[in-house]
Chain A
Amino acid sequence: MNAVLSRISVATAVLAFVVTAVPLNGQEKAAAKYVAPRTADNHPDMQGAWARRGVGLQEANAPSTPLGDFGSTGQPYPTVFNTGVFTTQDRSVLQGRPAGVIDPADRVLPWRPEADAARRAFIPKMIPPASLAYVEKAARCVLPGPLEADDRHPYQIIQRPGYFVMMYEYNHVTRVIPTDGRAHVGSNIRLFMGDPVGHWEGETLVVDTTNFNDKTSLGRTVPYHSDALHTVERFTRIDPNILDYQITIEDPKMFTRPIKIAGTFQAADPKTELMEFACAEGSQVLPNVFGFELAPGRAQAGK
Chain B
Amino acid sequence: MTPKRGPRFKAVLAMLLSVIPAVGQAQTGNIPRGPDGKPDLSGVWQVLNSAAWDLQDHTGALNFPPGQSVVEGGTIPYLPAAAAKQRDNFEHRETDDPAEVTCYLPGVPRVTYMPFPFEIIQTPKVIVFSYEFAHARRHVFTDGSPHPAGFPDFWMGDSRGRWEGDTLVVDVTNLDERTWLDHAGNFHSDALHVVERYTPIDASHLMYEATLEDPKVFSRPWKISMPLYRRIDKNVKILEYECVYYLQDKRYSNAKPVGVPQ
Residues of A within 8 A of B (CB): 40, 47, 73-75, 81, 128-132, 140-143, 158-160, 163, 165, 167, 171-174, 176, 178, 182-183, 185, 189, 191-193, 195, 215, 273-276, 278, 280-281, 286, 288-292, 294-301
Contacts and interface: CB of A to CB of B under 8 A. Distances in A.
Given A176-B121, A294-B248, A281 B104 contact: yes
B216 interface: no
Contacts, number: 139
A74 B260 CA distance: 6
Interface of B: 35, 42, 92, 95-98, 101-105, 119, 121-123, 126, 128, 130, 135-137, 139, 141, 148, 152, 154-156, 178, 235, 237-240, 242, 244-245, 247-249, 251-253, 255-262
A172 B257 contact: no
B122 A160 contact: yes
Contact of A192 (B97, B178, B240): B240
Contact of B256 (A131, A173, A274, A300): A131
Contacts of B258: 289-291
7 contacts: A143-B135, A158-B121, A160-B121, A174-B135, A176-B237, A294-B102, A299-B102
Nearest to B130: A174
Nearest to B93: A297
A176 B238 contact: yes
Contacts of A159: 123
B42 A286 contact: no
Contact of A142 (B98, B156, B239, B245): B245
Closest 9 CB pairs of A and B: A297-B95, A297-B96, A291-B258, A295-B102, A280-B244, A276-B154, A128-B260, A74-B260, A174-B130
Nearest to A133: B253
Given A132-B252, A298-B92, A160 B42 contact: yes
A148 B183 CA distance: 34
Contacts of B251: 290, 292, 294-295
A295 B101 contact: yes
Given A176-B121, A298-B95, A132 B253 contact: yes
Contact of A278 (B139, B155, B255, B261): B155
B240 A143 contact: yes
Given A132-B253, A143-B240, A289 B121 contact: no
Contact of B242 (A160, A174, A192, A195): A192
